């Protein structure tokens, strides 16, 4: 399953870091962050609960770049 989320982040490098963090989160098969359109596209693994996974993704993203936001 794929879902797109709106995000808020200040720099391109930070967006890349968010992408890394999201990818490393459990339940996420793949994630792409587009700094230009301020969108995060997440592909979830089979059977994962998007809501719970995204909470964790946001937590992990905050860890690498605390000035970021994902609008869930």
Partner 1 sequence: MTSKQKKMLLRIILAAVFMLIFVLIPFDKLLPAPWDGRVRFAVFLIPYFIVGYDILRKAIKSVINRQAFDECFLMAVATVGAIALGEYVEGVAVMLFYQIGELFQGVAVGKSRRSISDLMDIRPDYANIEQDGALVQVDPDEIEIGTVIVVQPGEKIPIDGVITEGHSSLDTSALTGESLPRSVREGSEVISGCINQTGLLHIRTTCEFGESTASKILDLVENSGMKKSKSENFITKFARIYTPAVCYSALALAVLPPLVRLLIGMTPAWNTWIFRALTFLVISCPCALVISIPLSFFAGIGGASRQGILVKGSSYLETLSKTKIVVFDKTGTMTRGTFEVTGIDPAEDNDFLRALEAEADSQTGRSLEARLLEYAALAECHSTHPISRSLQEAYIKDLVNGRETTEGQIADHTAIDHTRVSDVEEISGHGVSAVVDSVPVLVGNTKLLKLHSVDIPETATRPAATIVHVAVGGSYAGTITISDVVKPTAAKAIQSLHEMGIRDTVMLTGDSREAAEAVAAEIGASDVRSELLPQDKVVAVEELLAKKRPADTLVFVGDGINDAPVLARADIGVAMGALGSDAAIEAADVVLMDDDPLKISKAIRLSKKCLRIVYENIYFAIGVKLLCLLLGALGIANMWLAIFADVGVMVIAVLNAIRALKA
Residues of the shown chain interacting with partner 1 in the complex, contacts defined by CB under 8 A: 4, 10-13, 16-17, 32, 34-39, 41, 63-67
40 or 48: CB nearest partner 1: 40
CB of 14 to partner 1, least distance (A): 8
8 or 26: CB nearest partner 1: 8
How far, in Å, CA of 16 to CA of 44, rounded? 19
How far, in Å, CA of 40 to CA of 5, rounded? 5
CB of 46 to partner 1, least distance (A): 20
How far, in Å, CA of 67 to CA of 35, rounded? 14
Strand partners, 15: none
């Amino acid at each position: 399953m794929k879902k797109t989320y709106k995000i808020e982040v200040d720099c391109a490098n930070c967006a890349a870091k968010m992408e890394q963090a999201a990818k490393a989160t459990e339940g996420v098969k793949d994630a792409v962050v587009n700094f230009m359109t301020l969108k995060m596209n997440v592909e979830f693994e089979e059977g994962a609960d998007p809501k719970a996974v995204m909470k964790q993704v946001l937590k992990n993203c905050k860890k690498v770049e605390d000035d970021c936001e994902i609008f869930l």
